[in-house]
Amino acid sequence: MSGSNSLALVTGPVRACPVCGGEILAALQVPNGWTTEGGKQVRGTSEVLLCERCDRDDPVTGPIVVFFTVHEQATADQADELAALLQRWADHAVARRPDLQALDAEVDAWYRGEL
């Protein structure tokens, strides 16, 4: 996947992680697609978020979380170090697939009036 993901650093208001509510430190746009039942390829992109809480224990993203925990902001002197960490993340990031069992359970709960 190397070279196919594009890094989009978060700017503006800090966004909250949709999973835990933690701070989003960065976002990637990664290629994503699927094949329809009719065999047609659907291509697009998905956003992969880097969360200060959810991603701190991951061997690829954890060092980025630690970097921002220690430094808060990157300086020119730290640009190469941060770039290497971000590039490693970009090289390994993939769009998450939906959990179809969880989706089915949520749909069932909605039909039962529990949501």
Please write the tens of the pLDDT for every residue from 12-58.
566 889 889 998 988 888 888 888 889 999 888 888 899 999 999 99
Place of tokens 């190397």: 2
pTM to 2 decimals?
Answer: 0.69
Query: What does pLDDT average to over the chain?
Result: 85
Kindly list the domain boundaries of the chain, sorted by start residue: 6-111
Mean pLDDT for the stretch of residues 66-84: 90
Torsion of CA 45, 72, 13, 115, to 10 degrees: 70
Distance of CA 48 to the CA centre of its chain: 2
Place of tokens 């993939």: 94
Is the pLDDT assigned to residue 2 strictly greater than 50?
A: no
Alpha-carbon gap, residue 88 to 64, rounded angstroms: 10
